[in-house]
Amino acid sequence: MKKRIVLALGGNALLKRGEVLSVENQYKSIHLFAELINDLAKEYSITIVHGNGPQVGLLALQNLAYKEVPAYPLDVLVAESQGMIGYMIAQALEQQAGMSPVTCLMTRVCVDANDSAFEQPSKFIGPVYQVEQMSELKEQYGWNMKVDGDYIRRVVPSPKPQQIVEAKIIDSLLTSDSVVICAGGGGVPVTRKEHGYQGVEAVIDKDSVSALLAEQIEADHLLILTDADAVYIDWGTENQRALRDVTSEELQPFAQPDGAMGPKAEAVINFVERTKNTAYIGALQDVKAILKGEKGTCIRPVETAVPDSKTLKESLVY
């Protein structure tokens, strides 16, 4: 039986920062991803979770542009982005020769209606803007804005995922050797009610959902693919150094609420510590080399460390 791997594909891995959010530009990255997945599917049972930050932000802008109809809530826009991006990935995957059957599944994720994240928006969505536009955007749209690098972006609530509603269906699809695209954009955020589920205004972090899903379907590995080729110490300075092989304990200092590498570090730490399996963080184009330990950052449980294993200092790549 093939080992199971969950691939978390970042929105910025599908679209380079500052690039026009066109279908053509997204397909360029998706077709590259599809070729890599075709090779990987020969060895692994694959689940794909994709981000939607740029896309759901664009849908929100388009949503506001037509004032004859009340604006759609974020949970509906997340569902739209799931269908849009999932469709594009499925189309590209099925064009690969010898590809396993591909299923794109609309996925809901339960959150706590009392999560403090609803009072402290932190999830970046949509395009970047110049810093001097902050007051204008707040006044025009009523958005919460935060600094993102040299720019500013809109932020929305991002509650913690508690349960993936369709987890059993995903497990069944994997058992039938299907490549599954699911929980896109972190899943459609819902809360449990007496007679079903109700959508909420939020966008869940797709890395957190990927870790939870990987745990629920008993995946052997979690691989978070982003536009960074590894986790770095002293990132952005002349002394920056890549980490190649670390324990979840050694990665803990990186798990900060920074909206960048922090959520990814937190997600892989949770997966590794709960399952005692291995996780990886790296660049989309390096996916095969990452799994071989040649690129990216490998995160292992503390319990698997052996006496002659590398220390944190020795795992640095200069």
Task: Say if CB 189 and CB 65 are below 8 A apart.
Answer: no
Residue 211 included in any domain: yes
Cα 111 to Cα 199: distance, rounded to the nearest angstrom = 10
Which range marks the domain in which residue 80 is found?
3-109+163-317
User: 179-182 and 102-105 as β-strands: parallel, antiparallel, unpaired?
Assistant: parallel
Instruction: Report the CATH number at residue 51.
Output: 3.40.1160.10
206 in catalytic set: yes
Question: How many domains is the chain partitioned into structurally?
Answer: 1
Residue 148 included in any domain? no
For residue range 210-223, list pLDDT tens digits in order: 999 999 999 999 99
Q: Give the pLDDT of residue 13.
A: 62
Helix and strand totals (H; E) in the chain: 10, 18
| Domain contains 144 | no
pTM of the model: 0.89
Choose the catalytic residue: 10, 53, 123, 184: 123
Distance between CA atoms of residues 199 and 106, nearest Å: 14
Beta-bridge mates of residue 243: 231, 316
Q: Judge whether 152 lies within some domain.
A: no
Residue 300: inside a domain: yes
Residues 222-253 have pLDDT tens digits of 999 987 888 988 877 888 888 999 999 999 99
Q: Which residues pair with 224 in a beta bridge?
A: 8, 281
- SS3 of residue 277 by DSSP: coil
168 is catalytic: no
Contact between residue 266 and residue 254 where contact means Cβ atoms under 8 Å apart: no
Does residue 223 lie within any of the structural domains? yes
**What pLDDT is stored for residue 305 in this prediction?**
54
Per-residue model confidence (pLDDT) at position 21: 80
Single out the catalytic residue among 12, 38, 270, 277: 12
- For this structure, is 123 an active site residue? yes
Q: pLDDT tens-digit profile of 117-142?
A: 999 998 888 888 999 999 999 888 88
pLDDT of amino acid 306? 47
Q: Rounded to the nearest 5°, which phi and psi values hold at 56?
A: -70, -30
* b/e 265-299 (16+ beta carbons within 10 angstroms → b): bbbbbbbbbebebbbbbbbbbbbeebbeeebbbbb
Per-residue confidence (pLDDT) for residue 60, from 0 to 100? 87
Q: Residue ranges of the chain with pLDDT lower than 50?
A: 306-309, 311, 313, 317-318
What are the two backbone dihedrals, phi and then psi, of residue 270, each rounded to the nearest 5 degrees? -60, -45
Q: Is residue 74 part of a domain?
A: yes
CB neighbour list of residue 180: distance below 8 Å, 6 or more residues apart: 46, 47, 48, 103, 105, 170, 173, 174
Q: Which of 206, 270, 295, 296 is catalytic?
A: 206
| Catalytic residue chosen out of the listed positions 264, 270, 295, 296 | 264
Catalytic residue among 10, 11, 51, 184: 11
Q: Is residue 47 part of a domain?
A: yes
